[in-house]
Structure 1
Amino acid sequence: MTITNALAGIAVDDITEALDFYERLFGRAPDARPISDVAEWKLPGGGWVQILADSDKAGASTLTLIVDDLAEELGRLSLQGLKPVAKSMGDFFKTAKFRDSDGNQIIFSQPQHGTY
């Protein structure tokens, strides 16, 4: 078997409230709404991020998004009213962590030069 792609799922309590946050996070409306309680964004590399209404699991998800320029991304997100809850710089990655209204963790990560 060869794995060729991935779909990351994030459980939320209220899909309407979550849509506001994730549309600002991704800078656009979802690429697909296959059913009323699911929204999906396609990433340039081919993967997908899905938010889905699931009250039992809401707030327990983590998503890491790899970016080319973390500073640029933080500037864009700031204009959308989104501020990181934490930032860090390690030997391999610079990161900024965000939380949606359910407490799900979204991490933006930029590889350090020579590590990716």
Structure 2
Amino acid sequence: MTITNALAGLAVENITVAMAFYERLFGRQPDARPMSEVAEWKFSTGGWVQVFTDADRAGSSLVTLIVSDINELVDDLAGKDIKPVAKRSGDFAKTAIYRDPDGNQLVFSQTLRNTY
């Protein structure tokens, strides 16, 4: 089996509210709206984030997104009035943790060393 890509799903209660947050977070509108209750953002080096309506599971999702410069990301999001709930740093990575309006956890991580 060869896995060629990944799609991370985030369950939300209200797609309109969630889209406004994610458009601000990612700085652009979704790349796809395959259904009225789904919005998807594609990343240039692979992978997608899919935000979808599922009131029963809203707020229980987690996604980790790898960035090249965590400090730049934190500064950029602070300028959009999006603040981390926590920051962590270790020998291998630095992270900033955010929550969307439903409480889903968004972890942004910068790898400091190649661990693979």
- Scaled to the shorter chain, the TM-score interval is over 0.9
Letter in 1 for 2:68: D
Q: Distance in 2 between matches of 1:30 and 1:74?
A: 21
| Residue matched to 2:65 | 65
Aligned length: 116
Aligned residue number for residue 32 of structure 1: 32
What's the counterpart of residue 20 of structure 2? 20
Secondary structure of the residue aligned to 1:24 is helix
Aligned to 1:90: 90
Identical pairs, percent: 62
Helix, strand or coil for the counterpart of 1:82? coil
For residues 20-73 of structure 1, the C-alpha deviation after alignment (integer angstroms, 9 at most, x for no partner) is: 111111111100111110000001112111000000110110010000000001
The amino acid across from 1:79 in the alignment is G
Matches of 1:24 and 1:30 in 2, distance apart? 11
What TM-score, normalized to structure 2?
0.95
The letter of the residue matching 1:36 is: S
- Whole-Å separation in 1 of the counterparts to 2:70 and 2:47: 20
Question: What SS is found at the alignment partner of 2:22?
Answer: helix
User: RMSD between aligned alpha carbons?
Assistant: 1.1
Structure 2: stretches of 5+ with no match in the other structure: none
Query: SS in structure 2 opposite 1:11?
Result: strand
Aligned to 1:45: 45
Shift of 1:115: 4.2
Quote the residue 1:5 is aligned against: 5
In 2, Cα distance between equivalents of 1:69 and 1:115? 17
Tell me the distance in 2 between the aligned counterparts of 1:3 and 1:104: 25
Asked if 1:99 corresponds to 2:73, the answer is no
- Normalising by structure 1, we get a TM-score of 0.95
Runs of 4+ more than 2 Å apart: 113-116
Gaps of 5+ in 1: none
